[in-house]
Structure 1
Amino acid sequence: MRYTVIGAGAMGYRLGVLLQEQAGLQVDFVDTWMPNIDKVHDQGGVYVSRDHENRHLVPVNIYTPEDYKGDPDVWIVMLKQMQLEGVLERCAPLFRDHQVVFSAMNGWGHFDKLLKYFPKERIYGGTAMIGTVLNGPGDVDFIGRSGAGSMHLCAMTEETTDVERRMAEDFKAANLNPILTENFEGTCLAKIIFNSVVNTICTMYQITMGQFISYPGAKDMSRQLIDEAYDACERAGKQLIQTRQETLDEVDYVSRVGNPLHYPSMYQDMSKGRPTEVDYINGYLARLGREHDYVCRTQEFLTHGVHLAELAFRVHHEEQADQG
């Protein structure tokens, strides 16, 4: 199948480049960040490293929404929640009835926006437990050895389709380790709960996942957040695809073995002066709890904590700029 990635950021590049290089598929990229597009055009592709080593140029096709003329079978949408609505509006003339869309974005909220352009029968969601860093325009770093990490894939209708099986085959050929599920909300919530622990804590304290998990109290901190999230989901009648212990084990394994050198995407956003997605992760879980008469006190505290870290980071850099 032919793929077009909307959002040539860290994860967009990783999925697209691996589908192109390892699965041998036709992949295009559509982006709206002009420094990124211009850089890729100037240098003839995107520079790709793995764990900060073996940097090499991978030729890719990248376009603005207005310049793109392709007709893919599958759109892969990998944007920040805050960007999504505006980018989809620009891409709307490109969408066709035969196309499907897959997204493994962080947080919750993107599916409501995708439903404005695609019926639920053509929407697929999932997770991507894969660490990647965008160093700058046209320069990406894959964190973890080849084949590290995994992803889940589920139809919004929760009925496994031929298209979904073909996507899974392509993702497998790209060494992305896909797992098919039949619980759409539970699949997507698994990544939100994972991120509510690792992304948030690593961002607040500006540490890697490996540094976090090496702290003796990391498992206790993780368990507290996971228990709150599961309590909120259970009160909302949402069935998760993993048990609490399996989620705790995943946090430990991914942080200790899979991506110990990785600074999560939330930290990457904060460190570059961009708004974080904490309101769509910890904030979402906190709102879900309150909607069902349960207060996720730690999730609410950490939502404020990340916003305070954003403020402190911004003030610090403004003071440095003034002194310079």
Structure 2
Amino acid sequence: MKYGVIGAGAMGYRFGIMLQKNADVDVDFIDTWEPNVEAVREQGGVSVARDHENRHIEPINIFYPEEYTGHPDVWIIFKKQMQLAEELKRDAAAGIFHDDQYVVSAMNGMGHFEKIAQYFPKDHIYCGTAMIATRLDGPANVDFMGAEGTEVMHIAKYDQQADDETFQAVVADLKQAKLNPVVVDEWLGMCMSKVVFNAVTNTLCTMFEMQMGQFIEYDGVREMSKQLFDEAYDACERAGIYVIATRQEQVDSVITVSQEYKYHYPSMYQDFSKGRPTEVDYINGYIAKIGREHDYVCRTHEFVVHEVHMAEMMRKYHQVQENVAE
């Protein structure tokens, strides 16, 4: 099958390049960030490293939406939550969406599948999560974090009536790409499992401007994680959402994943450090929203959302970093 990646950022590059290189499928990239598109064209591809080593140029095809005439079988969407609605509107206006196309998205946060469903039928949407750390250090400059083969993602149908043949073909390509997809029956609990994980690691690392390995040096990490997880799970249970990982598994994963990616700054901090808005409203804020909708106040998550927004406000008093390095 042919793939099109909407959003040539850290994760969009990772998925597209691994599909192109390991699964030997055709991949086109669509992006609207002009410095990124022009840098790719100027240097003949994307500058790719893994854990800061073996940097090289990976040739890719990249287009602005308005100039794209291709017809992928499957779109892979990776945009920031707050940018997605405008991106989809521009892509649709450019005429690049077609009735026979499918969509896979493994974005952080929640709320994106509802936006995607405005342009594609529900049985053409596949939901994903990715426990994969990647850094975008600048236009057309990406660093895949973690040893090859450690990538793990989960995937489920947005609509259980979706075409199984296409779904299995997508899963097979992702396996061939070495993205290690795990098929899950129910998408909502799968996605919330990643959201509640990010609500601890992404958010706390951002507030204290630390790498994941530095984060777990603190003796109170398990206690802090448990407090945030317990609130999130209580809210989900009241909403009838059953997260695929147990509370204890989530606490344990904070340690194991942070050890694996000890030099990694989570994506929320990468945005924060470069003066961009964070996705905290779509992570901790989404958990708090679920709680309030079901008569349960997630006081810690609501407080954390305010803390992150306060930290964003304080950036006007500090110089924004140009690069986030180890």
Deviations 1:191-241 (A, max 9, x none): 111110000000000111111122111111111111110000001111211
- Which of 165, 170, 173 matches 1:170? 173
In structure 1, the partner of 2:48 is 48
Deviations 1:26-46 (A, max 9, x none): 111000000000000000000
SS where residue 66 of structure 1 aligns?
helix
Counterpart residue type for residue 213 of structure 1: I
In structure 2, the partner of 1:64 is 64
In structure 1, the partner of 2:28 is 28
**C-alpha distance in 1, partners of 2:109/2:58?**
30
Q: Is this contact kept in 2: 1:30–1:63, CA < 8 A?
A: yes
SS where residue 199 of structure 1 aligns?
helix
Q: Is this contact kept in 2: 1:273–1:314, CA < 8 A?
A: no
Question: Cα distance, 1:108 vs. partner?
Answer: 0.9
**C-alpha distance in 2, partners of 1:11/1:185?**
21
- Which of 263, 266, 288 matches 1:264? 266
**Gap runs ≥5 in structure 2:** 321-326
- Residue 114 in structure 1 maps to residue 116 in structure 2: yes
In structure 1, the partner of 2:297 is 295
- Residue 217 in structure 1 maps to residue 220 in structure 2: yes
- Residue 251 in structure 1 maps to residue 278 in structure 2: no
Counterpart residue type for residue 65 of structure 1: P
Q: Is this contact kept in 2: 1:187–1:240, CA < 8 A?
A: yes
Counterpart residue type for residue 33 of structure 1: W
Question: Cα distance, 1:59 vs. partner?
Answer: 0.3
In structure 2, the partner of 1:322 is none
Q: Is this contact kept in 1: 2:109–2:283, CA < 8 A?
A: yes
**C-alpha distance in 2, partners of 1:168/1:202?**
32
Number of residue pairs matched?
A: 317
In structure 2, the partner of 1:85 is 85
Q: Is this contact kept in 2: 1:159–1:182, CA < 8 A?
A: no
Deviations 1:7-63 (A, max 9, x none): 000000000010111111111100000000000000000000111111100000000
**Gap runs ≥5 in structure 1:** 319-324
TM-score (norm: length of structure 1): 0.96
RMSD: 1.1
- Which of 143, 146, 149 matches 1:144? 146
Q: Report percent identity of matched pairs.
A: 57
Question: Cα distance, 1:282 vs. partner?
Answer: 0.2
Q: Is this contact kept in 2: 1:158–1:184, CA < 8 A?
A: no
- Which of 200, 203, 208 matches 1:205? 208
Question: Cα distance, 1:159 vs. partner?
Answer: 5.0
Deviations 1:47-102 (A, max 9, x none): 00111111100000000000111101110000001111111111111111111001
